[in-house]
Structure 1
Amino acid sequence: MNGLMLLLSLVAGFGVAVQAGINAALGKKVGTIEASLVSFAIGTLCLLLLVIFFGKGNLLAALSQPKWMLLGGLLGAYYVLAMVLAVPKIGVASVLVAVIAGQIIASTVIDHFGLFGSRQIPVDWRRLLGIALLAAALFLFYRK
């Protein structure tokens, strides 16, 4: 099962790279914010159909949760907008290395403190070395 989850994650990463390129191309044709809206609207429609046909949860329960739990959508919109803005300027690879570095740094902090109900995993020298190597990768990818 873990192998399947790894494969799903790998394909998701592939999709993120393709999405960044597609959204940046759309942004050149229709505008940055407009392309972000189109991307989110199509994604929202797809998710709505999945909820209608396969959903087993309680969508209305989201309204009674702590408001910070609803920030994921805002962060997702920021991500899509940032991709549309940055990809044409510095390229898909540089943008995604920066995104991955940001994700690893933030997730290391989340794990270390056990934030959002996650399992607490202390920072160690291996994780710090990984962050340093990501910083080096970002430098190498972005360097002209």
Structure 2
Amino acid sequence: MPTGWLISGVMVAAILGGALIAAQGPIYARMAVGLGNPIIATLIAFLIATCAISLVAILTRVPMPDMRAVRTMPPWIWLGALIGVYQVLVSIFAVPRLGVAPFILLVIVGQICASLLYDHFGLFDLKIRPVNVQAMLGATLVLIGALLVIGR
């Protein structure tokens, strides 16, 4: 497959992923209402996700990691799972109160601002990529766009 097609496919997959992420908040919020508890809704969501990814791992015969390699990983690696729990819980509470678009836009603003800091300081073992004026302008425009949509 030509590189251009591969990049286009990845970009379409990313856009679809963004659309699905936007669907998560309302789905989780409705699940919490139906189950009567946001904690139980989050637990069930992660149980379903665990079953689904376990099935994928079994079907694709992914080898288990070497436990020595797991023990040498930095402790902050395990925060990723907790970030997922936080995000699901926040979406359950925020989406019914703010709406999907404002919630997602605020998430994106947080992602852009934090990602610029992560790149600038090389956090999480990333290569340092200093923030420049163009990146700051882009982040500012995203913030302005978010405020325009939220203020509608």
Query: C-alpha root-mean-square deviation of aligned residues, in Å?
Result: 1.7
The 3-state SS of whatever aligns with 1:58 is coil
Pairs aligned (count): 144
Please name the residue that 2:28 is paired with. 23
Please name the residue that 1:52 is paired with. 58
The 3-state SS of whatever aligns with 1:120 is coil
Question: Could you list the runs of 4 or more consecutive aligned residues of structure 1 that deviate by over 4 angstroms after TM superposition?
Answer: none
TM-score normalized by the length of structure 2: 0.85
Using a 3 Å threshold, how does the CA distance of structure 1 residues 75 and 117 change in structure 2: closer, same or farther? Answer: same
Which ranges of structure 2 fall in alignment gaps of 5 or more residues? 1-5
1:53-107 per-residue CA deviation (whole Å, 9 max, x = no partner) reads 2224517443542221111000000001100110000001000000011111111
Q: Identical aligned pairs, as a percentage?
A: 33
Whose Rg is larger?
2
Please name the residue that 1:115 is paired with. 123
Please name the residue that 2:3 is paired with. none
The 3-state SS of whatever aligns with 1:73 is helix
Q: How far apart, in 1, do the equivalents of 2:29 and 2:66 lie?
A: 31
Please name the residue that 1:7 is paired with. 12
2:45 counterpart of 1:34: no
2:132 counterpart of 1:132: no
Q: How far apart, in 2, do the equivalents of 1:123 and 1:12 lie?
A: 26
TM-score normalized by the length of structure 1: 0.90
